[in-house]
């Protein structure tokens, strides 16, 4: 079990370090609103396939749309 958790954490860390490499030097702005299946990026409303939500004082946002808002190509 410890190896699985370590592997997952390693993958998450690698992804977190890789995201700034994909994102270009762009000034973007994104606003995710709780319990809505839409977000606002660069003053345009975009739809998501899942709602953002809060559980145990943590906010969960669909990773795909968070990555798109950071400039990661589709």
Which tokens belong to 65? 């749309």
Beta bridge partners of 45: 40
Which secondary structure element, helix H or strand E, spans residue 20, and what is its range? helix 2-22
Q: State if pTM tops 0.85.
A: no
pLDDT tens sequence for the chain (74 residues)? 666 666 665 655 566 666 555 555 567 788 888 899 999 888 889 999 999 899 999 988 898 988 888 888 88
Burial class (CB in 10 A: 0-12, 13-18, 19+), 14: exposed
């Amino acid at each position: 079990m410890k190896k699985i958790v370590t592997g997952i954490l390693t993958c998450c860390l690698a992804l977190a370090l890789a995201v700034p490499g994909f994102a270009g030097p762009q000034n973007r702005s994104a606003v995710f609103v709780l319990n809505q299946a839409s977000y606002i990026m660069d003053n345009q409303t975009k739809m998501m396939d899942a709602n953002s939500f809060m559980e145990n004082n943590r906010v969960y946002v669909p990773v795909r749309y968070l990555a798109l808002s950071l400039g990661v190509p589709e």
